[in-house]
Amino acid sequence: MRSPGRGVAAVMIDLDGTLLDTVPDLAVAAARMLVALGLRECSREQVRSFIGDGIAVLVRRCLQAQGGTAHAEALHAEA
């Protein structure tokens, strides 16, 4: 609620999945990360399903999909 005579202090916009489809870019970035770590790429649809809780969680989910949970924990910092 605005006070009379005051301008807008902030505007928040949800870009990812609302105004922009960033899945293709995130899938390419995830693929490059995985290949650099010697793992195979995730599909674009896998990456799409991993999106939603921030980049650290996306990285962890990609690692888990390609090497399991223990492997993901071991590589997370490097990734």
Q: 14-22: list long-range contacts, CB under 8 Å, 24+ apart.
A: 16/51, 17/51
DSSP 7-55: --------TBTTTB--HHHHHHHHHHHHHHTT-PPPPHHHHHHH-SS-H
Give yes or no: 14 in active site.
yes
Choosing from 14, 21, 25, 53, the catalytic residue is 14
Q: Which positions are catalytic?
A: 14
